[in-house]
Amino acid sequence: MTAPAMIRLPAPSLSGSPSVEEALAGRRSVREYAAAALTIEQLSQLLWSAQGITERRYGLRSAPSAGALYPLEVYVAAEHVDGLAVGVYRYVPRQHGLQLVVDRSVRGQLSRDALSQSAVADAPATLAFAAVFLRTTQKYGERGRRYVYMEVGHAAENVYLQATALGLGTVAIGGFDDGSAKRTLGMRGDEEPLYLMPVGRPASQ
């Protein structure tokens, strides 16, 4: 079976405002979103903040990883993203692109998987973090699992701060049915879901 075609994302911006300090001060968990689509540029920036390549020679990424082993995979359940068809996509850091995994809306089912949390039901897109634990445990043993959990926290905070800088909101959700969410998002057999992060423009705006 041939791999799905790569959808190239706009190049991420490497400068902007607000400052890091302002983003830290303004960061909040946001669970209610306006009925507004994300732009493809906003999605590109969020994905780059999560796992984007920041150094080409060694493939270093925007979030730290024990041993630079990078066990995380990032998916996007896209519902209302300008320029992107509804569906689930896998982020490919090396190409800063997306590959289609599921070619239909999964927002309703994903919300049910997440204990019917309205943030997932209402967001124009939800980022989902998964991990291939073996990438880390084959070097660090069972302690490597701890490193993976640390790493997803690093990546999630990057998304929080990037969303804040873009005038968007997000919330990290750890309460969901692992097996059902994995099936809904079309994750591979060796991947385990860790976090859902719905993202959108805060309703308060």
From first to last of its 205 residues, what are the pLDDT tens digits of the chain?
566 789 999 999 999 899 999 999 999 999 999 999 999 999 999 999 999 999 999 999 999 999 999 999 999 999 999 999 999 999 999 999 999 999 999 999 999 999 999 999 999 999 999 999 999 999 999 999 999 999 999 999 999 999 999 999 999 999 999 999 999 999 999 999 999 999 999 998 7
Please state, in angstroms and rounded to a whole number, the distance separating the CA atoms of residues 173 and 196: 5
Q: The whole model's pTM is what?
A: 0.96
Whether residue 151 is contained in a domain is answered as yes
Whether residue 20 is contained in a domain is answered as no
Whether residue 118 is contained in a domain is answered as yes
Whether residue 26 is contained in a domain is answered as no
Whether residue 183 is contained in a domain is answered as yes
Whether residue 27 is contained in a domain is answered as no
Which residues are CB-neighbours of 34 under 8 A, at least 6 positions away? 200, 201, 202, 203, 205
Whether residue 1 is contained in a domain is answered as no
Domain holding 118: CATH number?
3.40.109.10
Looking at the structure of the chain, the number of domains it has is 1
Whether residue 88 is contained in a domain is answered as yes
User: Which residue range forms the structural domain that includes residue 157?
Assistant: 34-200
